[in-house]
Amino acid sequence: MGKKIGILGAGGWGITLTCLLERTGSKVTLWEPIKKNYTSLQKYRENRDYFPGVRIPESVNITDSIGKIFSFSDILILVVRSTFFRETVKKIKRFYTGQPVIIGTKGIEIATGKRMSEILMDEISTNLNYGILSGPTIAREIANGMPSAAVIASPVEKLGLAFQNIISCDTLRVYTSTDVVGVEIGGAFKNVVAIGSGIIDGLGLGINTKSSYITRGLNEMIKIGCALGGKEKTFRGLSGIGDLITTSFSKYSRNRSFGEAIIKTGKEKYLKKSRMVIEGIPTTKAFYRLSRKMNVELPITASLYRIIYNGAKPEDEIKKLMQRKMKKE
């Protein structure tokens, strides 16, 4: 018999995990807090605005009540956007009674520079009863049954193995790790680099440029990630370079698409038209601030920050990067 799982967040990834877990025998309750979206999900059994074409099974209980999530769930999966993560954790605080928590949100809190697991521990005493799910998991492809792999990191190895068994299926192979910091940093930082990949696509600069850029972006991921306590090996795995490649090349990548739009239509026009959350925008600011605070040089991140927040021209920033002082690799 499958587990009773509560998924908080009915965006593309939340709906994908809902469908995947329901197919493998779990009983899923899906939470959507916004009344308009909740009503639409109940009526059409799909997210027509953000994730059209993927139908939520009739067996899934859709609710807008935090209390009902806890009434029907033994395990929680948090997949709300990073800017809404702390608020959501505060909402569940009074209902929480020690359930294992899987964090599927990728990002860093701007104000504090904290990872999602740190926010969870700030607000709720989970006794390390959590795991981080990350990797090259474009929701549309997973929902369509295309094979992929992911990693679940937990500070408690036994718990990571339990999560692995719950999520793994014929189309999603899940590995385990105990490097929570590395897995979270990789999943967050790749969104920053992906914006630059989109800028390169928009400028039509070619594969040499993009490959060089992604390689140096990975170097920055490793520098800041290791400085924060992650293991270098992790950044060369699924949650690091694996997710980075996917997000930098996929047509479904919101961060890559945003970067491309900076060149082709302008970022304001794109953001006004798009209803999707571009996690890389606040994450760029968060890592830029962290790098300055920790005195870790991240030239690509700094250039992207200036493009996004200061209106710098991408062509000028590329020139600055190419003209930096010569150094060893």
Give the catalytic positions in this structure. Answer: 190
Q: Which amino acid is at 9?
A: G
CA distance 185 to 93: 25
The two three-digit tokens of residue 186, written as one number: 């990789």
CA–CA–CA angle 202, 14, 70 (5° rounding): 155
The two three-digit tokens of residue 321, written as one number: 């990067």
Contacts 24+ apart (CB under 8 A), 230-235: 230/179, 230/181, 230/182, 230/183, 230/185, 230/186, 231/179, 231/182, 233/179, 233/182, 234/177, 234/179, 234/182, 234/183, 234/186, 235/182, 235/185, 235/186
Q: What is the 3-state secondary structure (H, E, C) of 42-93?
A: HHHCCECCCECCCCCCCCCEEECCHHHHHHHCCEEEECCCHHHHHHHHHHHC
DSSP conformational letter for 323 = T
Which value, in Å, is the radius of gyration of the alpha carbons in the chain? Answer: 19
Neighbouring residues of 122: CB distance < 8 A, sequence distance ≥ 6: 86, 114
The tokens 């999560």 sit on which residue?
163
Entry field: residues in the chain: 329
Other C-beta atoms closer than 10 Å to the C-beta of 290 total 20
